[in-house]
């Protein structure tokens, strides 16, 4: 126990001292985050030195604590051998060093997502080559041996943890605070299992993060950067393998999942949100947990408090699962957090609406007889972020779809610079003609010099309108709607007007927009 306390204390002191020193050389090296108009909320240049400070604080704190503990009475600490798996510890240091380097390069010059993923894969390969593995588990009394898939399970686990923490690092103190809570829980779990060196590393991580939090607490004076957020996820996931996953029991399986439940839930919601709205999973939006808390009116510090409470709940469930060797504690803690998120509308409500609507539409499609007399139009409108009213623009597009016999219409807006995101779809009743008889087109929505989103249309190839007619008229309509979209984005008060009185009415009458020559169909 004294080793863990010493490591935490030393790492915290080192981090407090390292951050300002590194901050002085950050700008000449390019390790700074500059504000922009689209995504970032800070107003000044901020150094991204958290990863370097945390890594070297831990690296120095553990051996220093080992040396200093010898000056304490022997009955203050456990005298059994501390390091049992030296190869794995060496692998953890080497892999962490490599991943830190990848993150520093990304923070300095920026690298593509696939290049960063390759760096993460190489880091995990180093871990696996030094003996990190998950051999199997037991679920509901059934023993599962991963066998040759052990390495694949390690890769999935490590990459999921690295990128989940990385995605959640979008608000001051979020990833840092999560790292502190999970590190303390991992330290407690390691002590319970008699793995004192692992506990020292975990408490060293907690101490380094506590020291860094002095500068990362909102409003932040220093950022983690990708080097820091990836390193946190990497070390936590690796320690979870050593202190829990290596035991083939149900509680050893669910405890690590509970530990990282918050970042995993945030990442899963992002994947669902982007996939069900047709966006790339790599796209930027304002739908992460800290964004929805801000939408609810929570300030940065109140959001951080909520995060601590939720993360502490799942961490407590993980620790109790290990102490009492019952997986139910971990599962119940995750369920409690999910219920609180939904009931308090803190997070996940928009994603739940998307999933529910998609399932309902799938059910209607499955039960549909394909009758030509069916007139039911399926429509989904979800305000993913923000509170601007995009309904009028959507009404214009719906009338355009009616006139031009559009089978499916998608209107997807993503304006992260003002925390706005809106998604709407409209589908005509299913037909038995098959997808081979359809064509589709996707157009960008550009207004005020910025890309607002996209419009996607699907229609039959033998429609009364040719694909050229539909695309041409849709392009004209988006031009006419540009002022409306800019007004809504700027939160300008709009005079109420029905679509029938606007530009779409002229499309209805002569298949063209004002001032344009008609196209014969």
369-407: pLDDT as tens digits = 554 445 578 888 888 888 889 999 999 999 999 999 899
Which residue is listed with tokens 């690296």?
59
Rounded Cα distance between 458 and 408, Å, is: 5
Q: Could you identify the residue written with the tokens 């502190």?
A: 180
Q: pLDDT tens digits for 497-515?
A: 444 444 444 544 444 433 3
Tokens, residue 494: 């709009």
DSSP for 31-90? Answer: -EE---SSS---SS-EE--HHHHHHHHHHHHHHHHHHHGGGS-GGGS--S-S-S-HHHHH
From residue 95, alpha-carbon distances to 104, 114, 123, 317, 338 in Å are: 14, 18, 5, 29, 33
Range from 211-225, 331-345, 488-502 carrying the lowest mean pLDDT: 488-502
Asked if residue 210 lies in contact with residue 180, where contact means CB atoms within 8 angstroms, the answer is: yes
| pLDDT bracket for residue 248 (50, 70, 90) | low
Q: Among 245-249, 304-308, 463-467, name the most confident range.
A: 304-308
Q: How confident is the model at residue 74 (pLDDT cuts 50, 70, 90)?
A: low
* Predicted TM-score (pTM) of this structure: 0.80
| 195 or 165, higher pLDDT | 165
Q: Nearest 10 degrees: CA dihedral of 221, 291, 345, 340? A: -40
Burial class (CB in 10 A: 0-12, 13-18, 19+), 188: buried
d(CA 492, CA 418): 14
Q: Give ranges for CATH 3.30.450 in the chain.
A: 376-510
Q: Average pLDDT of 30-46?
A: 73
Strand segments, DSSP code E, in 93-141 are 136-139
pLDDT confidence of residue 416: 83
Fold of the CATH domain 376-510: Beta-Lactamase (3.30.450)
Q: Smallest Cα–Cα separation from 283: which of 291, 271, 292?
A: 271
Q: Answer whether the bond into residue 219 is a cis peptide, omega within 30°.
A: yes
Mean pLDDT confidence for 34-49:
73
């Amino acid at each position: 126990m004294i080793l863990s306390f010493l490591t935490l204390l030393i790492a915290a002191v080192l981090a407090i001292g390292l951050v300002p020193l590194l901050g002085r050389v950050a700008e000449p090296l390019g390790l700074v985050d500059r504000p922009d108009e689209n995504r970032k909320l800070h107003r000044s240049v901020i150094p991204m030195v958290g990863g370097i400070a945390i890594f070297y604080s831990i690296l120095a704190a553990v051996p220093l604590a080992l040396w200093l503990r010898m000056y304490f009475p022997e009955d203050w600490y456990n005298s059994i051998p501390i390091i049992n798996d030296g190869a794995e510890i060496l692998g953890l240091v080497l892999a962490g060093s490599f991943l830190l380097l990848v993150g520093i390069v990304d923070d300095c010059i920026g690298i593509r997502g696939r290049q960063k993923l390759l760096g993460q894969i190489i880091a995990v390969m180093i871990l696996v080559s030094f003996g990190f593995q998950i051999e199997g588990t037991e679920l509901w009394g059934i023993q599962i041996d991963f066998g040759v898939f052990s390495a694949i399970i390690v890769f999935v686990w490590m990459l999921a943890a690295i990128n989940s923490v990385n995605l959640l690092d979008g608000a001051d103190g979020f990833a840092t605070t999560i790292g502190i809570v999970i590190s303390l829980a991992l330290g407690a779990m390691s002590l319970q299992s008699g793995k004192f060196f692992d506990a020292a590393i975990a408490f060293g991580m907690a101490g380094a993060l506590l020291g860094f939090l002095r500068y990362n607490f909102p409003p932040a004076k220093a950022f983690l950067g990708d080097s820091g957020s990836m390193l946190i996820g990497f070390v936590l996931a690796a320690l979870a393998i050593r202190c829990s996953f290596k035991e083939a029991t149900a509680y050893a399986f669910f405890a690590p999942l509970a530990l990282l439940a918050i970042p995993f839930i945030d990442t899963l919601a992002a994947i669902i949100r982007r996939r069900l709205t047709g966006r790339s999973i790599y796209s930027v939006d304002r739908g992460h947990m800290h964004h929805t808390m801000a939408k609810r009116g929570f300030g940065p510090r109140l959001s951080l408090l909520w995060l601590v409470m939720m993360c502490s709940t799942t961490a407590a469930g993980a620790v109790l699962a290990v102490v009492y060797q019952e997986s139910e504690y971990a599962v119940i803690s995750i369920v409690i957090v999910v219920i609180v998120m939904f009931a308090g509308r803190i997070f996940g409500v928009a994603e739940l609406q998307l999933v529910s609507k998609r399932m309902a539409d799938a059910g209607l499609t499955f039960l549909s007889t394909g009758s030509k007399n069916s007139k039911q139009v399926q429509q989904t409108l979800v305000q993913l972020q923000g509170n601007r009213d995009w309904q009028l623009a959507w009404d214009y597009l719906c009338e355009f779809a009616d006139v031009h016999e559009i089978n499916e219409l998608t209107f997807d807006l993503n304006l992260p610079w003002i925390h706005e995101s809106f998604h709407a779809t409209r589908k005509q009743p299913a037909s038995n003609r098959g997808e081979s008889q359809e064509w589709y087109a996707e157009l960008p929505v550009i207004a005020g010099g910025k890309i607002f989103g996209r419009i996607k249309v699907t229609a039959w190839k033998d429609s009364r309108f040719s694909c050229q007619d539909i695309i041409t008229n849709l392009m004209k309509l988006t031009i006419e709607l540009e002022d409306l979209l800019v007004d809504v984005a700027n939160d300008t008060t709009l005079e109420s007007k029905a679509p029938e009185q606007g530009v779409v009415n002229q499309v209805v009458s002569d298949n063209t927009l004002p001032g344009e020559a008609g196209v014969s169909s």
